[in-house]
């Protein structure tokens, strides 16, 4: 993908389907004046919209609309960019794109690949990698909070935080490298340069950025919640209550739910992807058995497992035995991911439960507000969306690697005498991990993976 980044490219930049307006976008490092003259019939003023007919090869008008020319480097991609705004019918836009390809044959104009316009903006220094990813996140945002946070990331909030960490790290690296290069100066590096103090402050600042980044990742990725338990404990009723809609069929017949039913809701701007699953039990029904197997797969992949219990059946030997079997099988799941929930509080009250047990009634809605807050607490959500920047899991992992290398650097620095060459290496590795976020140190294959997930035309 990167080997072709000098080619002129074109694509429809608006979403598929019909609409009032559709846009065809062309980007090229070469001058687009010949292409403009052929399609628009005249020259265009820079960054000024011109209403005119878009001409077919025989001189007829394909459509009439607005044409805008953005000369390099003052454009989204940093190259010469032409945008043709026509009526948003699929046929019209395809005809206009085909005409651009025909007229641009001499400059070897080709169709853009997914995300290639934004990739060029990154390669040409218009955006760093975190900002480029924020473009996609803003488009894909599923909540208002996520959209606002993506906008802040696009404006450079995350990049600014990372940049401040990078500057502090560079300063520390320079001091270490200077000591290595001039040992005859006998500089007491650790004391005079306050290396340990700088490391401590850098570590504390990194911890604060990592916390905000993890919160931002929750806004983007959301939380995968699975409702699990025996048949007829109220899983489908709870899904319907949380979603505020009749999504799952609810009957007194055990085994009604045989496959996963999912819905996304939001709590304080955080998306929750909630899945109702088949009741966990041994069964001779082949279809239900497949559903139960899928339930266990969903449990293994969940961020939070709501293990639902039926208050009205507590104390019944058969029910207690089945619950015990489920509990034993859940021993392979991280206990911090399991939330014990006791349903049907409207039917039976006063059961002898643990002090922190969460009781509710999916039927009446009692206890749902507390459940929503417990779900957020379970994944460590403690921020308000305002002021957060959206982030991705790779950002979190890069910051964690930075933290690990800084911790190793601190351990080396406290040794007597300190191994300054090892200290310099750990600081270099920290710097490299930090640079992955904004793209200062990023492999080409990672760039291809990131931008391939964008939509065509962006």
Annotated binding residue 300: no
The reply, when asked if residue 257 is annotated as ligand binding, is: yes
Residue 81 marked ligand-binding: no
The response to whether 16 counts as a known ligand-binding position is: no
Q: How far apart are CA 34 and CA 307, in angstroms?
A: 66
**410 annotated as a binding-site residue:** no
The answer to whether the annotation marks 329 as part of a ligand binding site is no
d(CA 172, CA 148): 34
- Annotated binding-site residue? 275: no
| Residue 102 labelled as part of a binding site | no
Residues contacting 179, CB < 8 A, separation 6+: 185, 187, 189, 193, 420
Residue 243, H or E segment: helix 235-243
DSSP 306: E
What is the spatial distance between Cα 166 and Cα 128, in angstroms, rounded to a whole number?
A: 14
77 carries a ligand binding annotation: no
Question: Is 126 annotated in some ligand binding site?
Answer: yes
Residue 384 marked ligand-binding = no
Cα separation of 176 and 170, whole Å?
10
Q: Are 134 and 453 in contact (CB under 8 A)?
A: no
CA distance 57 to 17: 25
Q: Is 237 annotated as a binding residue?
A: yes
276 is in an annotated binding site: yes
Is the CB of residue 9 less than 8 Å from the CB of residue 116? Answer: yes
Residue 22 φ then ψ, to 5°: -130, 150
Residue 224 marked ligand-binding: no
Q: Is 419 annotated as a binding residue?
A: no
343 is in an annotated binding site: yes
Is 179 among the annotated ligand-binding positions? no
From the list 234, 309, 332, 244, the residue with the least C-alpha distance to 277 is 234
Which residues, including other chains, have CB under 8 Å from residue 303's CB and lie 6 or more apart? 223, 224, 225, 337, 378, 379
**Residue 409 assigned as binding residue:** no
Name the nearest CA neighbour of 66 among 56, 55, 80, 52: 52
Asked if residue 344 belongs to a known ligand binding site, the reply is yes
On whether 71 is known to bind a ligand per the annotation, the reply is no
The Cα-based distances of 169 to 142, 366, 404, 414, 417 in angstroms read 36, 51, 14, 18, 22
Reading phi first (left if > 0) and then psi (alpha if -120 to 50, else beta), residue 380 is in left
DSSP, residue by residue, 317-363? HHHHHHHHHHHHHGGGS-GGGEEEEEE-TTT-------TT-EE--TT
Establish whether 143 is an annotated binding residue.
no
Asked if residue 453 lies in contact with residue 118, where contact means CB atoms within 8 angstroms, the answer is: no
Residues tagged in the binding site annotation for (6S)-5-formyl-5,6,7,8-tetrahydrofolate: 25, 83, 126, 458
Residues tagged in the binding site annotation for GTP: 232-237, 251-257, 276-279, 343-346
Residues tagged in the binding site annotation for Mg(2+): 236, 257
Residues tagged in the binding site annotation for K(+): 232, 251, 253, 256
Residues tagged in the binding site annotation: 25, 83, 126, 232-237, 251-257, 276-279, 343-346, 458
């Amino acid at each position: 993908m990167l080997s072709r980044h000098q080619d002129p490219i074109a694509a429809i930049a608006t979403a598929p389907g019909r609409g009032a307006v559709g846009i065809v976008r062309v980007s090229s490092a070469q001058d687009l004046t010949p292409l403009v003259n052929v399609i628009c019939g005249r020259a265009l003023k820079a960054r000024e919209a011109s209403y005119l007919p878009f001409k077919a090869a025989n001189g007829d008008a394909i459509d009439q609309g607005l044409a805008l020319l953005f000369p390099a480097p003052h454009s989204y991609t940093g190259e010469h960019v032409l945008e043709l705004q026509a009526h948003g019918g699929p046929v019209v836009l395809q005809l206009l794109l085909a005409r651009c390809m025909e007229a641009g044959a001499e400059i070897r104009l080709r169709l853009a690949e997914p995300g290639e316009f934004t990739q060029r903006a990154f390669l040409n220094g218009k955006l760093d990698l975190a900002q480029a990813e924020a473009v996609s996140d803003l488009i894909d945002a599923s909540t208002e909070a996520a959209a606002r946070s993506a906008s802040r990331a696009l404006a450079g909030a995350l990049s600014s935080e990372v940049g401040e960490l990078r500057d502090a790290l560079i300063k520390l690296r320079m001091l270490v490298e200077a000591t290595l290069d001039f040992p005859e100066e006998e500089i007491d590096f650790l004391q005079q340069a306050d290396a340990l103090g700088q490391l401590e402050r850098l570590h504390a600042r990194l911890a604060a950025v990592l916390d905000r980044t993890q919160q931002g990742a929750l806004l983007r990725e959301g939380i995968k919640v699975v409702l699990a338990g025996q048949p007829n404990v109220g899983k489908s009723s709870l899904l319907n209550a949380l979603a505020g809609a009749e999504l799952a069929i609810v009957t007194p017949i055990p085994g009604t739910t045989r496959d996963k039913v999912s819905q996304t809701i939001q709590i304080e701007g955080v998306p929750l992807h909630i899945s109702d699953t088949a009741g966990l039990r041994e069964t001779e029904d082949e279809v239900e058995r497949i559903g139960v197997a899928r339930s266990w797969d969903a449990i293994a992949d969940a961020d939070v497992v709501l293990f639902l219990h039926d208050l009205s059946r507590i104390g019944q030997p058969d029910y207690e035995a089945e619950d015990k079997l489920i509990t034993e099988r859940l021993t392979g799941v991280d206990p911090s991911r399991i939330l014990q929930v006791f349903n049907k509080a409207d039917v039976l009250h006063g059961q002898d439960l643990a002090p922190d047990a969460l009781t509710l009634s999916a039927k009446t809605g009692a206890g749902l507000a507390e459940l929503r807050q417990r779900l957020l607490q379970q994944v460590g959500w403690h921020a308000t969306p305002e002021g957060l920047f959206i982030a991705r899991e790779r950002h979190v992992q890069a910051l964690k690697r930075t933290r690990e290398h800084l911790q190793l650097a601190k351990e080396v620095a406290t040794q007597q005498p300190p191994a300054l060459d090892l200290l310099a290496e750990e600081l270099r590795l920290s710097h490299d991990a930090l640079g992955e976020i904004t793209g200062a140190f990023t492999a080409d294959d990672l760039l291809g993976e990131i931008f391939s997930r964008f939509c065509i035309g962006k």
